[in-house]
């Protein structure tokens, strides 16, 4: 095995997804490329008093198969349940037999933008109604945002690097980038990485409504999230988790693992500009993509797919389009750019990992998913957004973008493994 960290390469050998359009990778991918939408009226609580009454809720989810016991399920917030289930899927997909592995060399970085919001809200109500003596002793462990990562480590006995990232909507991409670094530097041989989020609760919906950040197209939920479309009016909240298994390439080859793609670069920058708005013309996002390309040794013309952050907000979609054009120049017009948030909604801290799984699947299958609900072209958004219908394309290299409130930017670069 190469000892020089610059020689160590990192493969994606396992995927797990819990999302509004499917609770396993096969179902998720089939629904995504067929243009299905997982957004509908909120059913988990009465949302009629709220300006936004729609979301991408995870449906028919059973966490039990991924947990050691029903007791452990009850002691985990919904976001952690999503994360553990996605990690369990990714483990099975990878073919790793952890009983035969040195788990000192296997780690986990799974973040959450907000953490256990449902637990926080429920326990706060108990505090107000019944007093501090009735609070659950599991309240704090359930709500803290590192607990999905902690539970995955405990249940799978992963004793390598373990922590959580928290950078709003860039959270999961940061987790994947830092896991890539851990494998690249030799601190681990295998890393589970991604994000998990479950904020479709009254205080979550109410808070984002107060910001006027979400779509109010309540009478037409299936067409409410419309990235890059001229009529977009805000994002739609989603929930779920995506987990990837990152593995040192030579090790993966030696054990005959399925290799979806190779992660080659990671960009990580700050806008240093505004609480919620991106920097003008996407300057911070452009620097982030350039860093990922530089780290990956990729030429501009190598990249032919970008999974855009593309949230369906008026300003954000324009800034990302400008950033892509800043980085790629004339080549930007030749790149297939799609946002999958029309199908899933915006999964906040989980978005980047689900969308990195999309990149891996696009590379693996030679299909780029569509940007659904694209009907009215916006002159300020003038790239090829793969409108409405999936496209067969041999993806040679891809970039996955995630940009979060607070000015956090994270881009991951991946390429086809030809080995």
User: How far apart, in whole angstroms, are the C-alpha atoms of residue 77 and residue 85?
Assistant: 12
Same domain for 235 and 291? no
Q: What DSSP character marks residue 121?
A: H
Helix-, strand-, coil-residue percentages of the chain, each rounded to 5: 40, 20, 40
pLDDT higher than threshold 50 for residue 362? yes
Same domain for 249 and 355? no
The b-or-e profile of 372-384 (16+ CB within 10 A means b, else e) is bbbeeebeebebb
By CB atoms closer than 10 A (0-12, 13-18, 19+), residue 129 is exposed
Determine the pLDDT at residue 5: 62
The DSSP annotation for 209-269 comes to: HHTT-B---TT-GGGT--TTBTT---B-BB-EEEEEEEEEHHHHHHTT----EEEEEEEEE
The answer as to whether 5 is a domain residue is: no
Same domain for 249 and 282? no
Choosing from 85, 174, 346, 408, the catalytic residue is: 346
> In Å, how far from its chain's centre is CA 60?
20
Domain boundary among 254, 274, 299: 254
Same domain for 34 and 97? yes
Same domain for 200 and 324? no
Choosing from 169, 209, 261, 319, the catalytic residue is: 169
Determine the pLDDT at residue 251: 97
CA-closest candidate to residue 62, choices 35, 90, 81, 88: 81
Could you tell me if 268 and 295 are in contact, meaning their C-beta atoms sit under 8 angstroms apart?
A: no
Same domain for 219 and 359? no
Same domain for 172 and 289? no
The answer as to whether 3 is a domain residue is: no
Same domain for 131 and 185? yes
* Domain count of the fold of the chain: 2
Same domain for 400 and 317? yes
State how far the alpha carbon of 7 is from the alpha carbons of 4, 10, 184, 186, 290, in Å. 5, 10, 8, 10, 21
Same domain for 202 and 233? yes
Could you tell me if 157 and 103 are in contact, meaning their C-beta atoms sit under 8 angstroms apart?
A: yes
Same domain for 304 and 363? yes
CA-closest candidate to residue 78, choices 98, 63, 56: 63
Q: Per DSSP, which regions of 68-131 are E strands? A: 106-111
The answer as to whether 132 is a domain residue is: yes
Choosing from 85, 166, 209, 309, the catalytic residue is: 309
Q: What DSSP character marks residue 187?
A: S
Mean pLDDT of the chain: 96
Query: Which residues, including other chains, have CB under 8 Å from residue 347's CB and lie 6 or more apart?
Result: 19, 56, 195, 197, 238, 239, 240, 354
pLDDT higher than threshold 60 for residue 3? no
Dihedral (Cα; 339, 115, 13, 3), 10-degree rounding: 110
Could you tell me if 242 and 32 are in contact, meaning their C-beta atoms sit under 8 angstroms apart?
A: no
pLDDT-derived band at 312, boundaries 50, 70, 90: very high
The answer as to whether 32 is a domain residue is: yes
Q: What DSSP character marks residue 376?
A: S
Across the strands, what pairs with 241?
Answer: 18, 196
The answer as to whether 4 is a domain residue is: no
User: How far apart, in whole angstroms, are the C-alpha atoms of residue 333 and residue 319?
Assistant: 16
Where is 11: in which H helix or E strand? Answer: strand 10-18
Tokens of 334: 């030749």
The answer as to whether 287 is a domain residue is: yes
Query: Which residues, including other chains, have CB under 8 Å from residue 397's CB and lie 6 or more apart?
Result: 264, 296, 298, 302, 303, 304, 305, 413, 414, 415, 416
Range of the domain at 377: 266-415
Q: What is the pLDDT of residues 91-124, one digit of tens each?
A: 999 999 999 999 999 999 999 999 999 999 999 9
Same domain for 179 and 210? yes
Domain boundary among 221, 254, 287: 254
The answer as to whether 168 is a domain residue is: yes
Active site residue 346: yes
CATH number at residue 355: 3.40.47.10
Dihedral (Cα; 345, 65, 162, 272), 10-degree rounding: 10
pLDDT higher than threshold 90 for residue 32? yes
User: How far apart, in whole angstroms, are the C-alpha atoms of residue 268 and residue 225?
Assistant: 27
Q: What is the pLDDT of residues 202-226, one digit of tens each?
A: 999 999 999 999 999 999 999 999 9
Region 148-165: mean pLDDT is 98
pLDDT higher than threshold 60 for residue 369? yes
Share of the chain above pLDDT 70, in %: 99
The answer as to whether 261 is a domain residue is: no
SS (H, E, C) 273-285: CCCCCCCHHHHHH
Active site residue 223: no
Tokens of 210: 């107060």
């Amino acid at each position: 095995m190469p000892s020089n960290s610059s020689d160590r390469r990192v493969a994606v050998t396992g995927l797990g997804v819990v999302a509004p359009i499917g609770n396993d990778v096969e179902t998720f991918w089939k629904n995504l490329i067929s243009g299905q939408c997982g957004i509908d009226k909120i059913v988990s609580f009465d949302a009629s008093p709220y300006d936004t009454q729609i979301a991408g809720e995870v449906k028919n989810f059973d966490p039990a198969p991924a947990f050691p016991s029903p007791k452990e399920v009850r002691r985990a917030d919904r976001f952690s349940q999503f994360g553990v289930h996605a990690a369990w899927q990714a483990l099975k997909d990878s073919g790793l037999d952890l009983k035969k592995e040195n788990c000192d060399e296997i780690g986990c970085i799974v973040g959450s933008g907000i953490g256990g919001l449902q637990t926080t809200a429920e326990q706060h109500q108990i505090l107000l109604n019944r007093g501090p003596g009735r609070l659950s002793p599991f309240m704090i462990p359930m709500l803290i945002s590192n607990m999905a990562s902690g539970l995955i480590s405990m249940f799978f006995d992963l004793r390598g690097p373990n922590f959580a990232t928290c950078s709003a909507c860039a959270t999961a991409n940061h987790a994947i980038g830092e896991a890539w670094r851990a494998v690249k530097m030799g601190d681990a041989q295998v890393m589970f990485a991604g994000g998990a989020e479950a904020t479709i609760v009254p205080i979550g919906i109410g808070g984002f409504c107060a910001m006027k950040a979400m779509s109010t197209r309540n009478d037409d939920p299936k067409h409410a999230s419309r990235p890059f479309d001229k009529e977009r009016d805000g994002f739609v909240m989603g929930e779920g988790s995506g987990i990837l298994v990152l593995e040192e390439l030579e090790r993966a080859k030696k054990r005959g693992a399925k290799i979806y793609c190779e992660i080659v670069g990671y960009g990580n920058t700050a806008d240093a500009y505004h609480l919620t708005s991106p920097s003008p013309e996407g300057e911070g996002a452009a620097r982030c993509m350039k860093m990922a390309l530089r780290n990956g040794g990729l030429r501009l013309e190598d990249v032919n797919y970008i999974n855009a952050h593309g949230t369906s907000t008026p300003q954000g979609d324009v800034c990302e389009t400008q950033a892509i054009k800043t980085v790629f120049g004339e080549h930007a017009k030749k790149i297939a750019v799609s946002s999958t948030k029309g199908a899933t909604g915006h999964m906040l801290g989980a978005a980047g990992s689900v969308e990195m799984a999309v990149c891996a699947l696009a590379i693996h299958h030679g299909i780029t998913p569509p940007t659904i609900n694209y009907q009215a072209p916006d002159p300020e958004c003038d790239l090829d957004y793969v409108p409405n219908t999936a496209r067969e394309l041999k993806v040679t290299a891809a970039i996955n973008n995630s940009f979060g409130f607070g000015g956090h930017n994270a881009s991951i670069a991946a390429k086809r493994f030809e080995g």
